[in-house]
Amino acid sequence: MTVTVEGPLLGQSAVCEPILGALPQWFGVEASNAQYLRDIDVMPTFVARHGTDGGAVGFVTVKRHFAESAELLVLGVLPERHRSGTGRAMLERVEAWLRGRGVRYVQVKTLGPSHADEGYGRTRAFYRALGYDPLEELTELWGADDPALIMIKRLA
């Protein structure tokens, strides 16, 4: 099936909320999800759609930190669409958009490898396959039980 990626868009919380809800292993903290939804409404968000029905199957929201750098703040793909090319298509679109705005570095934060979680192991492998390198694992950001791994990519 063809993947169409729209964006950047604002005001997409209603579109993205069902995707967050379908991913409780990654997005199981209600307060965090509420903040993500607020951010999705005011930050550039890209939405992936498959096939002819036009239903959203994935999204990524971008936060610009400085002129040279941005962050993939939140990204989700419906479980039945994992390993379908949806995430790759979204990041290719986002990275091209960022390059066009002079961004040289993009980062993403995810659960670090010192926490044994199979799902996040797949998440880290996904980012590695797309050229993101681990930079640092921090226990101060989310707490000792949830070590945050910062991964970065230099945009050519």
Task: Tell me if residue 99 falls in helix, strand or coil.
Answer: helix
pLDDT tops 70 at residue 4: yes
The span from the CA of 37 to the CA of 16, in Å, is 8
Does residue 1 surpass a pLDDT of 70?
no
Alpha helical stretches, state H, 29-139: 30-42, 86-99, 118-129
What digits encode the pLDDT tens for the residues 34-69?
A: 999 999 999 999 999 987 677 899 999 999 999 999
* Whole-angstrom distance, CA of residue 18 vs CA of residue 41: 14
pLDDT at residue 126 above 70?
Answer: yes
pLDDT digits (tens, 9 = 90+) for 88-109: 999 999 999 999 999 999 999 9
In the predicted structure, residue 114 carries a pLDDT above the cut 90 = no
Span 130-156, average pLDDT: 90
φ and ψ at residue 15, rounded to 5 degrees: -75, -40
Q: What does the pLDDT read at residue 135? A: 96
Q: pLDDT band at residue 136, thresholds of 50, 70 and 90?
A: very high
**Domains of the chain and any CATH numbers:** 3-154 (3.40.630.30)
Tokens of 128: 């590695």
Provide the pLDDT for residue 38. Answer: 98
